[in-house]
Amino acid sequence: MPIIDDIAGLRRILTRSHTIAVVGLSAQWHRPSYFAAKYMQEHGYRIIPVNPNYDTVLGERCYPQVTDIPEAIDIVDCFRKHDAMVALAHEAVAKGAHVLWMQLGIRSPDAARIAETYDAMARLARARPTWCKLSAPYRIAPADADDCARQCIAALGPGRVVWGSDWPFTRHERSADYGALRERLGAWAGSREDAVLWDNAARLYRFR
């Protein structure tokens, strides 16, 4: 997600995008978020409202958070203050969105850095075979492990992540309690949990 603020770049983004999650979308017709989203909707874009205060806006179901949306997102359009941008950047990355759109006058270097890191990982994965060891964020940054792991999975794809080189292929497995780690991995990888633990690891380390 490189920083783009020129007309040509913005036009390029809108041409390539279809589904937009609008964070902070108001149901009040006079609010900027409402008439901006309504205009985009009338011009063929799929608008998904994100606001815990409403059930529906513009005829669409409203979600509390970006990560609650069950379908793929191209743009996360944020009508929030700058201090909310870092959390929204994490949500956008976890959701696999291509663009984090901040309004005029809103600047968040930390949010931009998160988006750029995700973009760099995604570009690297497209250029060459790239793997991520998910046990690393758990050990190195436990406070941010959830966001870090979801960013890795979103950027590389669930087929390019493993838990670690030491487990489950280790003779110490039976003596350790991995219940909490399995539960956390399930939250990160969902139905691909077993693939991350076994199939991907076996393929990467050539155990079979």
pLDDT of residue 37: 95
Closest CA to 50 of 36, 40, 60, 38: 60
91-108 pLDDT, tens digit each: 887 787 888 888 877 777
26-75 pLDDT, tens digit each: 999 999 999 999 999 999 999 999 999 999 999 999 999 998 999 999 99
CA–CA gap between residue 131 and residue 155 (Å, rounded): 10
Let me know: does 156 contact 194? Beta carbons within 8 Å: no
Q: Which three-class secondary structure state does DSSP give residue 47? A: strand
pLDDT of residue 62: 96
Residue, of 81 and 143, whose pLDDT is higher: 81
Domain 7-126 sits in CATH 3.40.50.720: yes
178-199 pLDDT, tens digit each: 666 677 777 777 777 777 777 8
CA–CA gap between residue 132 and residue 135 (Å, rounded): 9
- The H or E element spanning position 20 is strand 19-23
Let me know: does 130 contact 156? Beta carbons within 8 Å: yes
One-letter amino acid of 65:
Q
pLDDT of residue 164: 64
The total of other beta-carbon atoms located within 10 Å of residue 141's CB is 13
Q: Environment class of residue 103 by beta-carbon count within 10 Å: exposed (0-12), middle (13-18) or buried (19+)?
A: middle
Domain residue spans in the chain? 7-126, 132-205
24-39 pLDDT, tens digit each: 999 999 999 999 999 9
121-180 pLDDT, tens digit each: 666 666 677 777 776 555 544 446 676 777 777 777 778 787 765 544 444 444 455 666
